Amino acid sequence: MCGVESVGAAGRVYFLFTAAEDFDILDGLNNYEGVLKMNRRSFLSSGLAFGAVALACASCPAFESSALPLLDKRAARRGALPFEKVSKTDAEWRRILTPEQYQMTRMKATESPYSSPLNKVNDKGTFACVCCGLALFSSKTKFDSGTGWPSFWAPIAKANVREEVDRSLSEERTEVLCARCDAHLGHVFDDGPEPTGLRYCMNGVALKFVKSR
């Protein structure tokens, strides 16, 4: 299950979906930002359905750290992240991750093109951070960029990734990191497909695929 913020005439409300893929990212730019529009009347009329879903949440096997965390209303109002940050020492990361995962996510290395098994993954599901389990990308936005790295045209929620300027090479790039644990994921470029025109070029080692049930 996953939490999504809805913006309606009455203000901000928060509700649950049964899976990250249950809301269609293709339904406009608001879905790309992880936000769905819902007016007050439709929200109130759907109260019974919402309650049933909420009651089922605790026993749902899909409600794991790899699912999009439920947004916190008070945190959103003060501009805070909708999830708790994950912070570990270098020694802890080394113990948790494989040597390759550590190099990619904590030391900002880059995997060889065409080396990731995720390039060939076409199943429906969610691509989560290998370090902290935060949902990062939906299979609905995955596309073959021809670059040799898993590529997406949008994150599953804008708040789940953050960007930094990368000047490590002669050409300035935009680095993409997990917003929860600051893991290096890859880079984003402006040569992607519609509707965003973006190409999130990710290291497959930095991601783990969670297949939809």
Q: Which residues are catalytic?
A: 201
H or E element in which residue 56 lies: helix 47-57
Calculate the alpha carbon distances from 104 to 42, 122, 129 in Å.
Answer: 45, 23, 12
Per the CB < 8 A criterion, the answer to whether 178 and 129 are in contact is yes
Task: Please state, in angstroms and rounded to a whole number, the distance separating the CA atoms of residues 9 and 90.
Answer: 46
Show Cβ contacts of residue 56 under 8 Å, excluding neighbours closer than 6 positions: 1
Q: Both ends of the chain: CA-CA distance in Å?
A: 11
